[in-house]
Amino acid sequence: MSRLKIRVCLLLFTGISLSLIGGWAQVPENPTGEEILQCARGNWVEGTFHGLIRLELFRPEYSRLYRLEAWTEGEDKALMRLLEPEEEAGSGYLRAGDELWYYHPDAAQAVSLPLSALSQNFFGADASLEDLYRGTLNENFDIELLGVRPASTEESTAKDDRVYQLRLTPKPEASVVYGKLEMLVRASDCAILVVHYFDQRQTLIRQAAFSNFALVGAEGQKRMIPLTMIFDDLLTQGSRTIEEIESYEFDIEIPEEMFTVGCLVEVKCGSP
């Protein structure tokens, strides 16, 4: 399988996971950096999601557009099926617990992938946004609250909202490629707005930004999610990925059979 397909695979899984950032959780008075990040992580949705997603990849040599349908449940169940481009239609990826599978209609069967692909191929990084989703950032990094400032009108429409700035520094024993990470977290709902990645020389090399937030979820389970996610490789001019959620359903019933290899290879599985 090509590196591009692996990278798309990871973007689909991490992007869906990150689209579930948000909610009404709040940090305590005078919070520590650990409490702020824990609040942000507490907004990962444990329920279900179904939606249509538009994914645009821009590289110096080319640009590509993907559209896909996705179903997820909790942190470790996901089925992603590509709808466009035509040559990839019907192919897809399945995450079922500790298993990761890829299928293309031209192949005779689904192919098992190492679960490590979720973190090892996200823009070539070992530590990815998947780490936050899985909680490993808490384990691999020391977390420091650098400061708090008023939120801009672009960052929040809530009156007197604030933005926390966190610095995440790798622990001595941590096996990560970054020298540090910095992120902006909105105080009113613990939504992560921006993540900056620095190399070992403290040079800013990558950025992930989240915007176009929408209020979703059933009554009593309301949360804010970003419908637009932009990933920039700052070392390569013109290298950007834009992910947009075009339509969505949350907290719906999804049959258990959706998250099986049988459903992955059956293109009509999940269709109305």
Tokens of 144: 């420091």
When divided into structural domains, the chain yields a total of 1
Q: CA distances (Å), 104 to each of 37, 94, 97, 156, in order? A: 38, 12, 21, 42
The pLDDT, as a whole number, for residue 33 is 92
**CB of 176 closer than 8 Å to CB of 160:** no
The pLDDT, as a whole number, for residue 272 is 64
In a domain, 29, yes or no: yes
Q: Which residues form the domain of 251?
A: 3-265
In a domain, 37, yes or no: yes
In a domain, 10, yes or no: yes
In a domain, 233, yes or no: yes
In a domain, 271, yes or no: no
In a domain, 272, yes or no: no
CATH number, domain containing residue 55: 2.50.20.10
In a domain, 119, yes or no: yes
The pLDDT, as a whole number, for residue 119 is 54
- pLDDT by 10s per residue, the chain, length 272: 454 454 545 555 555 555 554 445 567 788 999 999 888 776 655 578 899 989 888 889 888 898 989 898 877 888 989 999 999 899 988 989 889 898 999 987 899 988 766 654 433 333 343 444 445 566 788 999 999 999 999 899 888 999 999 999 999 887 777 899 999 999 988 888 999 989 999 999 989 898 988 877 767 667 777 889 888 989 989 888 888 999 988 888 999 999 999 999 998 887 76
Pairwise CA distance, residues 197 & 179, whole Å: 8
pTM assigned to the model: 0.79
Residue 109, burial from CB neighbour count under 10 angstroms (0-12, 13-18, 19+): exposed
In a domain, 185, yes or no: yes
Nearest CA-CA partner of 177 in 200, 204, 207, 143: 200
